[in-house]
Amino acid sequence: MTFSRNILTVLALLFFISFCAKAQDERTSLDTDEAPIETNQKETIDDRINAFMEPVTSAVGRVVFFSIAIDEEIEVARYDKPSERFKMVVDEGKGPVIHLGEDKETLKGLPFYIEQEADGDLSVTYKISTQEESREVKITDVKAGQPFSLEDFPGATVEVDASREMFANGERYRVRYQNVEIPFVLIWLIFGAVFFTVFFRFVNIRGFKHAVDVVRGKFDDPNHAGEVSHFQALTAALSGTVGIGNIAGVAVAVSVGGPGATFWMIVAGLIGMSSKFVECTLGVKYRRKNEDGSVSGGPMYYLSKGLSKRGFGGLGKVLAVLFAVACIGGSLGGGNMVQINQATEQLIQVTGGAESFLADRGWIFGVIMAIVVGVIIIGGIKSIAKVTDKIVPFMVGIYVLAALIVILMNIGEVPTAFGRILDGAFNAEAMYGGMIGVLIQGFRRAAFSNEAGIGSASIAHSAARTDEPISEGLVSLLEPLIDTVVICTMTALVIVISDYGDFSSTEVFVNQRAGDLDAISLTSSSFANTISWFPTILSVAVILFALSTMISWSYYGLKAWTYLFGENKRTTNVYKAIFCIFVVIGSAISAQQVFDFGDAMIFAMCFPNVLGLYFLAPEVLADLRDYFRRVRSGEIKRYS
């Protein structure tokens, strides 16, 4: 079967899964985070795109973000009229206390709504929705402090411990008994990082100094094959990971995980260095040299060639195709549309918000960015590297400098901030889910930020000008250090030192859980507390971050595309045209389902990639030992 048939088979399977998922019986709520309010608003194009993509995104998300229950909680949320959403109640005494009977498992996942009737008693409403029927059930004459049963769930009792004052102003509450879950993809990435750290004898620490020397060009041989220098490969890969996540993503982690999430971000970044080492070493080792002098590498090649060499050729080809399909989807979604959409929104905000000339005309900015991206990516990895080796140091330098200014101007608060971070890592408040909840948030943000184990960076590093795969693997382990340990930690420190800027810790927690948190605004206001004019600079940084991420992901997607459809000018130009069109589309729409699908595809890449790395790790360890032996003996020369 050809690669073209393989990709069509995979896509057909995804649509089949989504169809089955949509057809199955589901018990749903009156709504998720929004109140059940009828509207007569006209359906927008975003609504239509979301409706079309929902079954596909849901199916892919269920597989990629399959979660394991580690605890349980009773979530109480109050209806907020201005936002028309339910927002979590986190302050004791601000909402009703709910007690569930012994058979509470039957209620898991079912939201029910509590409000006060005219006679002062309470009413409870819930909805049963299956393929055969959909009906709303309302229980009246409920007395506070007295247990009652839900007729569809015999044996399960509920007791509402609440005062009348809670409902005096027409307050309405949503109650949901649910699991506290950890996504399996996070376990997969973190377990892999720990395994590779131990297996390679803490290469993330003992290889650090040598990695810096290689980046500085001390071992560069001008006669080695490749297209770009070690430094250019590093900046090209960094530009794919240093992006909106370092600004907005960290704000989300500190919002829902508290200051303690910062500590676990650092830990995850340090062990993620080992995952980057092994995948980027293999990217160079199994790269393909093309007739025009260019190279093609990445998981597609080391999965197919490397596993074939070890007697698993069939498995290797399947994993390579799965990775390539996910990489293309991720490049167009998370690596493109999500980036341009966030940059467009930020630009609109700083140019007047609703009064901005770009309001409802985001496509204008999209066209401009598409032209810029198109001009850059036409020249391939050499052109991309020439841009990233200037943009990345500049934008990282500006951002880190601003963070240092904030830290130095509030130097007296630094010990307190670190105290909150360390204390929050091990003694987190119940609001944040305790130590386990904080650990999950920190590890989640680190894994989703530096992409260690995803395999994308190995595509950029495979173009490095070297005949020593291990040397490039060592260079790559600097990425998580810069991305997570330095930049993400700087962002978190600024937020903690400023005490969440114009917000409170409770406010950002509630807003994030309700889906109302503008994460970039949180980071912006935290900086603005010390540097009043920084929001304007941050807007420029967001645009540069988005641009650098897009051009790097265009290269990742292109290499996956040509792996499936052939490496020639026609297929290359088709992909580049599609990528630029998606830049415009991403700036013009806000179809969350499309963005979620793109993110899911990025993290789907880690499953075939990490699985293959386990098979190939022994040969990388042998190469590592041989490499350091030759460095010590002088066989590998220093050129400066």
pLDDT digits (tens, 9 = 90+) for 573-618: 899 889 988 888 887 776 566 667 777 888 888 999 999 999 999 9
Domain boundaries defined on the chain:
3-52+71-180, 201-633
Residues with Cβ < 8 Å from 471, sequence gap 6 or more?
Answer: 214, 219, 230, 627
Q: Which tens digits make up the pLDDT trace of 471-505?
A: 888 888 888 888 788 888 888 888 888 877 777 66
Neighbours of 200 (CB within 10 A): 22
Quick check: helix, strand or coil at residue 132? coil
Residue in 300, 191, 211 with CA at minimum distance from that of residue 557:
300
The answer to whether residues 498 and 406 touch, using CB atoms and an 8 Å cutoff, is yes
What's the pLDDT at 83?
Answer: 65
pLDDT (0 to 100) of residue 6: 44
Q: What is the CA radius of gyration of the chain?
A: 26
**pLDDT band at residue 639, thresholds of 50, 70 and 90?**
low
From residue 210, give the alpha-carbon distance in Å to each of 44, 231, 455: 55, 14, 23
Q: Is the pLDDT of residue 1 over 80?
A: no
Predicted local confidence at residue 41, as pLDDT: 54
pLDDT tier for residue 109 given thresholds of 50, 70 and 90: confident
**Largest separation between any pair of C-alpha atoms in the chain:** 89
Q: Is the pLDDT of residue 233 over 70?
A: no
For residue 486, with 0-12 CB atoms within 10 Å meaning exposed, 13-18 middle and 19 or more buried, which class applies?
Answer: buried
CB neighbours (10 Å) of residue 489? 19
Tens digits of residue pLDDT in 110-128: 788 888 887 778 888 888 8
Quote the CA–CA distance of 193 and 202 in Å, as a whole number. Answer: 11
Q: Give the mean pLDDT of the chain.
A: 77
> Which CATH architecture fits 201-633?
Up-down Bundle (1.20)
Per-residue model confidence as pLDDT tens digits over 507-525: 666 666 655 566 777 777 7
Q: Which residue has the tokens 């020593």?
A: 468
Beta carbons of 126 and 150 less than 8 angstroms apart: yes
Q: Band the pLDDT of 422: cuts 50, 70, 90.
A: confident
DSSP-assigned letters across all residues of 397-424? HHHHHHHHHHHHHTGGGHHHHHHHHHHH
Instruction: State residue 434's pLDDT score.
Output: 60
pTM equals: 0.77
Check residue 623 and give its pLDDT. 92
- Tens digit of pLDDT for each residue in 70-89? 667 777 877 777 766 677 77
The whole-number pLDDT of residue 43 equals 63
Distances (CA, A) of 300 to 16, 64, 227, 564, 600: 25, 19, 19, 9, 19
> Considering only 171-185, 417-431, 510-524, which range has the smallest mean pLDDT?
510-524
pLDDT tens column, 286-345: 988 877 777 888 899 999 999 998 888 899 999 999 999 999 988 888 888 888 887 887
How distant is the alpha carbon of residue 427 from its chain centre? 26
34 DSSP 8-state letter: B
More confident residue, 46 or 264: 264
When mean pLDDT is compared across 13-17, 202-206, 304-308, the lowest value belongs to: 13-17
Output the pLDDT for position 222: 60
Is the pLDDT at 636 greater than 80, yes or no? no
